[in-house]
Amino acid sequence: MYKIAKSKKELNDCFELRKEVFVDEQNVPQENEFDEYEDEATHIIVYDVNHRPIAAARYRSYQNKAKIERVVVVKDQRMHGIGRKLMQFIEEEAQKDGFKEAILNGQIQAQPFYESLGYHPQGEIFLEEAIEHIEMQKQL
């Protein structure tokens, strides 16, 4: 089930998934994972059939574009199309909010995934939390 996180529990599920993937797996300092945009962002949560949280992301307005951030899928659920469906859900919701373009800072290892969804790299590779990223964009 893909949905906008609205309750405190749903938001907490988003944050716990981000902590599991970014902080625990990728060693991003927890104080850097959570920022001043949490309240303004639209958070998305994905649950499996047993209501276990398995994926999350957020998007927010940035320079009149939907900036997609913090895209996570738990390790045992990767490579099953969940991330693809999550991105499609986000794009649909962003379009409903009036956005015509989406941007994201994708980790280099995920660049082929984002390209397969129609995102195009922009600019140079840069480091964010000691992980190589590249800005990518797509017309919605």
**Is a pLDDT exceeding 90 seen at residue 105?**
yes
Closest CA to 44 of 107, 112, 102, 94: 94
* CATH code of 78's domain: 3.40.630.30
43 inside domain: yes
What average pLDDT does the structure give for the chain? Answer: 93
Amino acid at 46: V
Question: What is the SS3 assignment for the chain?
Answer: CEEECCCHHHHHHHHHHHHHHHHHHCCCCHHHHCCCCCCCCEEEEEECCCCCEEEEEEEEEECCEEEEEEEEECHHHCCCCHHHHHHHHHHHHHHHCCCCEEEEEEEHHHHHHHHHCCCEEEEEEEEECCEEEEEEEEEC
133 inside domain: no
68 inside domain: yes
pLDDT in tens, 77-104: 888 899 999 999 999 999 999 999 999 9
140 inside domain: no
58 inside domain: yes
Domain encompassing residue 41: 2-99
pTM, whole model, 2 decimals? 0.91
**Is a pLDDT exceeding 90 seen at residue 135?**
yes
Number of domains in the chain: 1
